[in-house]
Structure 1
Amino acid sequence: MPPLAARRVRAAILTIIMFGVVAAFLSPLVQMALTSLKSERQISQAYAPVLPSDPRAFTYQGRRYDVYEVPIGGEVRELALVQKGRTQSGFVDPDRPQDGVITWEGSWRALRPSWTLAPQWSNYADVWNLIDFPRLLFNTAAIALIGTLGTVLSCTLVGYGFARFRFPGRGPLFTLLIATIFLPATVTLIPTYTVFARIGWVGTWLPLLVPAFFANAYSVFLLRQYFMTIPREMDEAAAIDGAGPLRTLLSVIVPQAWPAISAVTLFNFVYTWNDYFTPLVYLSGRPDLQPLQVGLAAFNGLYTHNPAYIQAGTMMTIAVPVLLFACFQRAFVRGIMSTGVDK
Structure 2
Amino acid sequence: MVREPQRRYSAVPKRLRRLTVSATVTLFALMLLGAFLAPMAYMTSTALKDSTQISDTHQPLLPESPREVTIGGEQVPVMRVPVDGHVRELALVEKGRTESVFADPAHPDKRITWQGSWRALKPAYEFAPQWGNFSAVWKALNIPLLLRNTLAIAVLGAVGTVISSTLVAYGLSRFRVPFAPFILASLVGAIILPRFLTIVPTYAAWQKLGFVGTWVPLIAPHFFASAFNVFLLRQFFLSIPRELDDAAAIDGAGTLKTLWYVIIPQARPAILTVAIMHFLFAWNDFFEPLVFLTGKPDLMPFSVGLYQFLGLYTSQIPLLQAGALLSMLLPILLFLFGQRIFLRGLDLSGSSK
Short-chain TM bin: over 0.9
What 5-or-longer segments of structure 2 have no aligned partner?
Answer: 1-11
Q: Could you say if the C-alpha distance between residues 253 and 10 of structure 1 is closer, same or farther in structure 2, counting changes exceeding 3 Å?
A: same
Distance 1:340 1:179 in 2: 26
Equivalent residue runs for 1:101-250 within 5 Å? 102-106=113-117, 108=119, 110-250=120-260
Structure 2 match to 1:57: 68
CA deviation profile, 1:245-284 (whole Å, cap 9, x unmatched): 1111111100000111121111111011001111111112
Q: Is the 8 A contact 2:99 2:113 kept in 1?
A: no
Aligned-pair distance for 1:340?
Answer: 9.4
| 2:165 counterpart letter in structure 1 | C
Please, which moves more after superposition, 138-147 or 52-61?
Answer: 52-61
Structure 2 match to 1:20: 31
| 1:285 counterpart letter in structure 2 | G
Q: Is the 8 A contact 1:54 1:115 kept in 2?
A: yes
Structure 1 match to 2:340: 330
Distance 2:133 2:186 in 1: 50
Q: Does 1:30 align with 2:41?
A: yes
TM-score, length basis structure 2: 0.90
Structure 1 match to 2:297: 287
Q: Is the 8 A contact 2:171 2:177 kept in 1?
A: no
Q: Is the 8 A contact 1:91 1:104 kept in 2?
A: no
Distance 1:340 1:81 in 2: 72
Equivalent residue runs for 1:60-75 within 5 Å? 60-75=71-86
Distance 1:154 1:61 in 2: 73
> Partner of 2:297: helix, strand, or coil?
coil
Aligned-pair distance for 1:7?
Answer: 1.7
Q: Is the 8 A contact 1:39 1:54 kept in 2?
A: no
TM-score, length basis structure 1: 0.93
Please, which moves more after superposition, 31-40 or 291-300?
Answer: 31-40
Q: Could you say if the C-alpha distance between residues 217 and 87 of structure 1 is closer, same or farther in structure 2, counting changes exceeding 3 Å?
A: farther
| 2:221 counterpart letter in structure 1 | P
What 5-or-longer segments of structure 1 have no aligned partner?
Answer: none
Distance 1:75 1:189 in 2: 67
> Partner of 1:49: helix, strand, or coil?
coil
Aligned-pair distance for 1:155?
Answer: 0.5
Aligned-pair distance for 1:73?
Answer: 5.0
Distance 1:95 1:106 in 2: 23
Aligned-pair distance for 1:104?
Answer: 4.4
Distance 2:150 2:34 in 1: 30
| 2:62 counterpart letter in structure 1 | L
> Partner of 1:330: helix, strand, or coil?
helix
Q: Is the 8 A contact 2:137 2:322 kept in 1?
A: yes
Structure 2 match to 1:2: 13
Q: Does 1:100 align with 2:123?
A: no
Q: Is the 8 A contact 2:213 2:296 kept in 1?
A: yes
| 2:187 counterpart letter in structure 1 | L
Q: Could you say if the C-alpha distance between residues 183 and 222 of structure 1 is closer, same or farther in structure 2, counting changes exceeding 3 Å?
A: same
| 2:160 counterpart letter in structure 1 | G
Q: Could you say if the C-alpha distance between residues 56 and 17 of structure 1 is closer, same or farther in structure 2, counting changes exceeding 3 Å?
A: same
> Partner of 1:54: helix, strand, or coil?
strand
Match of 1:91 among 102, 121, 129: 102
> Partner of 1:99: helix, strand, or coil?
strand
Identity of aligned residues (%): 47
| 2:182 counterpart letter in structure 1 | P
Q: Is the 8 A contact 1:203 1:282 kept in 2?
A: yes
